[in-house]
Amino acid sequence: LKERIRTVAKDLHIPKNEIPSRLKEIAQAFFMRNLDPAVEGWAQGAPVDWDEETGLGNAYFVYAYATHIAQVEVDLTTGEASVEDFVAVHDSGRIVNHQLASGQVEGGIAQGLGFALMEEIPEKDGHLMTTGFTTYRIPTIRDIAADTKVAFVEALYSAGPFGAKGLGEVPLMASHTAVSRAVAHALGAAVNTYPLSPERVKGSVA
């Protein structure tokens, strides 16, 4: 694909250093010339040493890591829990696009907060009680800590694209755990049922 782009750019008299800023023009030329802009490929991951019977070994050939810390405030009178501060640090290998990666983490934090504190699908006689956003609560921007901090530790993975690892679901898994454990710490009691609604929080301290 790189060679095709360079060939079209040369035909359009576009210098190499201007190619990134003129990709739209090059893409239009691809379309007009009926050139295929797609590239296909595949890669085989490294072998894993995993025993399904014992559950021992390495299930994956690479791991992405994260540490999430949530500071919460719990109103023991109402049972309301709110996230006041949040810090997320991820090792996802090389971060190719920091803005997109930060957005992915921030979105995962919001999802995790919803999972931990409010999202629930109750049913009655086999019928869902949540039929829209008026009955199915999800986080809004007002529920996210205003000073949420996201940082990355770029430990490169040699077999990943440009040294990258995965980032997809890691923020969700780490954030709901951080929030729920922070609530449990504030209450001084174990909380094992999601979401940690005001009713459940009040019940745990009654």
Question: Please, which pLDDT band fits residue 10 given cuts at 50, 70 and 90?
Answer: very high
- Identify the CATH assignment for 65-205 out of 3.30.565.10, 3.40.50.300, 3.30.365.10, 3.40.140.80: 3.30.365.10
Looking up tokens 């030329």 gives: 29
Question: Please, which pLDDT band fits residue 191 given cuts at 50, 70 and 90?
Answer: confident
E-state strands within the chain: 50-51, 56-57, 65-74, 81-91, 123-124, 127-128, 149-152
Q: Are 92 and 63 in contact (CB under 8 A)?
A: no
Q: Are 106 and 150 in contact (CB under 8 A)?
A: yes
The residue type found at 126 is G
Q: Are 184 and 200 in contact (CB under 8 A)?
A: no
Residues paired with residue 66 on neighbouring β-strands, in sequence order: 90
Domain limits of the chain?
2-32, 65-205
DSSP 142: G
Q: Rounded to an integer, what distance in angstroms lies between the CA atom of residue 147 and that of residue 154?
A: 23
3-state DSSP call for residue 30? helix
Q: Are 102 and 171 in contact (CB under 8 A)?
A: no
- Closest by CA to 20, choosing from 3, 6, 40, is 6
pTM of the model: 0.77
**pLDDT above 90: residue 161:** no
Q: Are 197 and 122 in contact (CB under 8 A)?
A: no
The answer to which of 161-165, 189-193, 195-199 has the lowest mean pLDDT is: 189-193
Out of 3, 25, 169, 199, which one is annotated catalytic?
169
Q: pLDDT exceeding 70 applies to what percent of the chain?
A: 100
The residue type found at 184 is A
Residue 18 annotated as catalytic: no
Burial 153-164 (b: 16+ CB within 10 A, else e): eeeebeebeeeb
**pLDDT above 70: residue 206:** no
Q: Rounded to an integer, what distance in angstroms lies between the CA atom of residue 192 and that of residue 198?
A: 14
**pLDDT above 70: residue 188:** yes
